[in-house]
Amino acid sequence: MAQRFGLLLLMATAVGLLILGKTHGDAIRQLRVMAVEVVAPILEVLSAPVISARHAIAKIEHLRNTSRDNDALREQVARLSKWQTIARNLEQENANLRALLRPAHDAAPIFVSARVIGDTGGLFVQSVLLNAGHRDGVEAGQAVTTGLGLAGRVVEVGNRSSRLLLLNDLNSRVPVMVEHSRHRAVLAGDNSARPRLTFLPANAKINSGDRVVTSGHAGVFPPGLPVGVVSSVTEGGARIQPFVDWARMEYVTVLRYRALPAGDVIRHDNGTNAGRGAAGTKPNASPNTTPDTSGER
């Protein structure tokens, strides 16, 4: 009976509140505000232990994560210290060997900064225009880099502007080398986002993730410029993911570099012709000289 009367009382109270809400809305709103003001402090006191426990659990979790991160950082510092010692020893050994061998060093490249000003289209599909030209010392064939790696080479030069041919253009060919295995190849663009490696040796073993750098062959590109990483290896060849983000390229650096001065390459054909001429011509002999017979009579 108590449950039945209690249910009826609650239903009657709900109906009465609905009627009062329709007829006396302001009074109901004030009553609701007063009820909230009375109940809010009680709820705040009751929720304080829950909030404190939640904060304590968060701090304990943070301390545990911090301890784990500290252990990982200590291990990383120990490993890096070991590699630092090895690198210093190798650096000193390399310096000593260079002092003994006295190798010829390539000339240091001169940097010319330029800004990408757009693309007007033309023969080259994957290319952009730079605001640097002959007046700034830019010449055709020079390498162009960004802060991430090699972007391409200069193909057309005006007085105040030049055209940069990107690595992924169909006409782009760059001599490169796999950094780990030292296998040389040619990076050929095909107008896709990932150019391919061609002319790899038959026994070349490369893996995904291997870094690819310029080899320095032909003396146009400085050796060791970062190009990208091997993204996939198939029977048809390997694909390279360049380091440069073409969509965000704004400023570039043109490398005024040449391994040998122009005309300083020894050609075997010229040397052979010179040797033959020297052997076939007698010294002090002139083909236009005629003997003097005036005094023989």
My answer on whether 66 and 132 are in the same domain is no
Is 288 or 232 the better-scoring residue by pLDDT? Answer: 232
What is the residue-averaged pLDDT of the chain?
A: 81
Q: Give the phi and the psi of residue 137 in degrees, each rounded to 5.
A: 90, 10
The answer on pLDDT for 263 being more than 70 is: no
Q: Which of 18-22, 61-65, 112-116 has the lowest mean pLDDT?
A: 18-22
Torsions phi, psi of 90, nearest 5?
-65, -35
Instruction: Specify the CATH number for the domain of residue 237.
Output: 2.40.10.340
Q: CA 232, CA 41: separation in Å to the nearest integer?
A: 64
21 vs 107, higher pLDDT = 21
Average pLDDT over residues 225-241: 90
pTM: 0.57
User: Which structural domain range is residue 168 located in?
Assistant: 110-256
State pLDDT tens for residues 23-46.
766 777 777 778 788 878 888 888
Residue 280 resides in a domain: no
> 64 and 158, same structural domain?
no
Predicted pLDDT at 284? 45
Same domain assignment for residues 61 and 126: no
Same domain, 124 and 238: yes
Q: Are residues 117 and 186 in the same domain?
A: yes
Asked whether residue 121 falls in the same domain as residue 238, the answer is yes
- Is 227 found in the same domain as 146? yes
Per-residue pLDDT for 240 more than 70?
yes
Domain count, the chain: 2
- Name which of 103-117, 167-181, 282-296 the model is least confident about: 282-296
Q: Is 204 domain-assigned?
A: yes
- pLDDT tens, 171-200? 999 999 999 888 999 999 998 999 999 988
